[in-house]
Amino acid sequence: MSQDRSQIRRASHSGSWYSSSERELRSQLDNWLAKAGPSVYGPARAIIAPHAGYQYCGACAAHAYKEIDPSIVKRIFILGPSHHVRLSGCALSPAKVCKTPLYDLKVDHSTYETLYKTGAFEEMSLDTDEDEHSIEMHMPYIAKVMEGHDFQIVPVMVGSLSSDKEALYGRIFAPFLANPENFFVISSDFCHWGSRFSYQYYDATWGEIYESIQKLDELGMSIIEKTSPKEFTSYLKEYGNTICGRHPIGVLLNAVHILNTNENQKISIKFLNYAQSSRCIYKQDSSVSYAAGSCRFDR
């Protein structure tokens, strides 16, 4: 584990995936959050939200972020999938600070040290961190909804986990999820459809291609809402749906499952919004789906 904790993570995707202008970005986030309306399934303890370019998923993500109560949150875990490096476990960032066009976010290295002591985490390089978009895309939204409050972030890159490892990390994160001062952002897009994604599942009984994609995603969302890790794994095996954040979702489901075995706790998940980057009609078309979900403690 590196001893250098002085590094700063650049907002490496600003200007391309989202606006680098503070004024423009703030205006966009305000607009999307206002259109999403008031909280309907909060206060959330965790959310599932997309990580594509804001022009595609910014409006959808707002439906998840409106569920956070910033007055009680002190620490935000961001679990994002690794798109560029092979990783069989989870990795933590060497950065102390993550920059956004709004303001800098502080990384909670005290919590990092607690996670390192489990022996289940490795440290990624700063270059690896900055190459990955799945965590960074949530930072401006976090900065916006948490503005004026004292908090730190805990970025976690999640690799291609086996079911056993999803259960392991679920056990590690369950005590953190149980603490109301902690909040989890689970970063995931949903179906990536088209030849460029090597995925073209289509059930004609569900209608046009885009309707089939939506039915497939809705089936997955309904299974996630059941909070059953095994059923979600079975769904993925049956349909092969290209949900890029399936492993972070699996970790969350395992943590929720553990906490739900406690008769004094009942945690539920509900999806609040769904969108597609485009409507696929023909086989040469392609699209990516986005979903916003909220996880709350009902008792």
Q: Is the pLDDT of residue 215 over 70?
A: yes
- Whole-number Å distance between alpha carbons of 107 and 152: 5
Structural domains in the chain plus CATH codes:
7-297 (3.40.830.10)
- Whole-number Å distance between alpha carbons of 157 and 211: 32
Please give the single-letter amino acid code of residue 97: V
Average pLDDT over residues 27-51: 97
Token digits of residue 92 = 């933590």
pLDDT of amino acid 262: 78
Assign 263 a pLDDT band (cuts: 50, 70, 90).
low
- Whole-number Å distance between alpha carbons of 200 and 213: 9
> What predicted TM-score, i.e. pTM, was given to this entire model?
0.95
pLDDT of amino acid 2: 44
